Structure 1
Amino acid sequence: MLVSERVKRFLQLVPGQRRFGFYRFLPFFFVLGGAMEWFMINVRFGEETFYDVYRRKQSERQYEARTENGEF
């Protein structure tokens, strides 16, 4: 059995195909996005979360841009 046939058979198990079509998968993606967001906010690798790194990098970029423009 090909992998694509297995995937098709698995996707057929999700209810609502006639009524919602492809959009029947939307709740799964919504929950997956929420779980990813929670993971990025709350799970620490070492001492930092994803958003700690993002904020630090953003402030570094702003500082570099200001020093290049001679604002300091």
Structure 2
Amino acid sequence: MLAKHKIRRLLLMVPGKKRFGVYRFLPFFFVLGGAMEWFMINVRIGKETFYDVYRRKQSERQQEQNLEK
């Protein structure tokens, strides 16, 4: 129960409740999404980034489709 009260207090500290309502959190999510995108493009885990894996899987799927035809 203690953590729930701390979270509620933290959320109430964000300004703009009266004017923007729940939309006052939109800038936080926008920045979070941008940071996640940057991480997926630039940070290598092992030898690959997320997009390297995505492109490889996409080309593998396309090859399989071409073989089925």
TM-score (norm 2): 0.94
The list of structure 1 runs, each at least 4 consecutive aligned residues, that deviate by more than 4 angstroms after superposition, is none
Gapped regions of structure 2 (runs ≥ 5)? none
Superposition RMSD in Å? 1.0
Q: Deviations over 1:15-70 (max 9, x none)?
A: 0000000000000000000000000000001111000000000000000011011x
How far apart are the structure 2 equivalents of 1:20 and 1:5?
Answer: 22
Counterpart for residue 24 of structure 1: 24
The total of aligned residue pairs comes to: 69
Q: Find out whether 1:67 has 2:50 as its counterpart.
A: no
Larger radius of gyration: 1
The letter for the 2-side match of 1:55 is R
Identity of aligned residues (%): 72
TM-score (norm 1): 0.90
Counterpart for residue 4 of structure 1: 4
Counterpart for residue 41 of structure 1: 41
Gapped regions of structure 1 (runs ≥ 5)? none
SS in 2 for 1:47: coil
